[in-house]
């Protein structure tokens, strides 16, 4: 069994939205509900912890009732950065295994979640990722300086799964040193922890820009 922490306190600036992008709708249903349903339907998920902006609490509580989301056990107040929001959520976690998942990734597969939980139990930490498909180049001042060999490059997604104590210690160390990582796994890496990689799929996109909403509609249509 695991708990999942979903940071949901963003304001949707890159989406160009006038509200939290997780409240925007895909096929008439808010993005956050699409995401929550994945964990609501997973029998291995014992609880969902949301890190939210205080202004969204009432709206989110109403949505939980409307869409019969029953596994949200706690709503923590999110911080200025995603990392701070996750840390606040971690303080409310009790399961031995915790996952951290982007609220704007509604297309994660349950099989991947199961593999992540198993890998975290064994290794301490595991992340969802896909091999990089594009050619990657380093660029300086508008000029290519190097073409990077891509066979060992992976594009990292969420969920990321951890043993609770391991992730708590990593977040505490980051807070003490004022270190801001690019993801939760980077905090574990900084403390010397090893992180396993579970191959996910390319549909597990993060909705960041308006164009992503078009792709998301297409994925929903395909899945239907």
Residue 10 pLDDT level (bands cut at 50, 70, 90):
confident
pLDDT over threshold 70, residue 190: yes
Q: Is 80 helix (H, G, I), strand (E, B) or coil?
A: coil
- Mean pLDDT calculated for residue range 89-98: 97
- Mean pLDDT calculated for residue range 178-205: 97
CA 133 to chain centre: 21
Instruction: Count the neighbouring beta carbons within 10 Å of the beta carbon of residue 220.
Output: 15
pLDDT over threshold 70, residue 11: no
Angle, helices 164-177/82-90, rounded to nearest 10 degrees: 130
Name the CATH superfamily housing domain 2-223. Spore Coat Polysaccharide Biosynthesis Protein SpsA; Chain A (3.90.550.10)
Lowest mean pLDDT among 14-23, 34-43, 68-77, 87-96: 14-23
pLDDT tens for 212-222 read 999 999 999 98
H/E segment holding residue 199: strand 196-199
pLDDT over threshold 90, residue 87: yes
- For 29, phi then psi, to 5°, come to -125, 130
Model pLDDT, residue 15: 64
In the predicted model, what is the mean pLDDT of the chain?
Answer: 94
Lowest mean pLDDT among 60-64, 105-109, 162-166, 208-212: 208-212
Q: What is the pTM of this model?
A: 0.94
Q: Is 19 helix (H, G, I), strand (E, B) or coil?
A: coil
Q: CA–CA separation, 76 vs 49, rounded Å?
A: 7
Q: CA–CA separation, 73 vs 19, rounded Å?
A: 24
């Amino acid at each position: 069994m695991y708990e999942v922490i979903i940071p949901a306190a963003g304001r949707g600036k890159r989406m160009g939205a006038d509200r939290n992008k997780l409240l925007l709708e895909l096929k008439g249903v808010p993005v956050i509900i699409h995401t929550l349903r994945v964990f609501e339907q997973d029998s291995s998920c014992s609880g969902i912890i949301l890190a939210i902006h205080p202004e969204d609490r009432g709206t989110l509580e109403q949505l939980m009732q409307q869409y019969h989301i029953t596994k949200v056990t706690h709503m923590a107040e999110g911080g200025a950065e995603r990392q701070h929001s996750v840390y606040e959520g971690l303080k409310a976690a009790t399961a031995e295994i915790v996952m951290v998942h982007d609220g704007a990734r509604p297309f994660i597969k349950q099989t991947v979640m199961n593999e992540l939980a198993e890998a975290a139990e064994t290794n301490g930490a595991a992340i969802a990722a896909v091999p990089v498909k594009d050619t990657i180049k380093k660029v300086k001042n508008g000029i290519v300086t190097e073409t990077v060999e891509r066979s060992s490059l992976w594009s990292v997604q969420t969920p990321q799964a951890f043993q609770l104590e391991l992730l708590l210690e990593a977040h505490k160390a980051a807070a003490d040193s004022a270190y801001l990582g690019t993801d939760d796994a980077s905090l574990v890496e900084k403390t010397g922890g090893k992180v396993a990689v579970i191959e996910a799929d390319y549909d597990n996109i993060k909705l960041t820009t308006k164009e992503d909403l078009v792709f998301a509609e297409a994925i929903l249509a395909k899945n239907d």
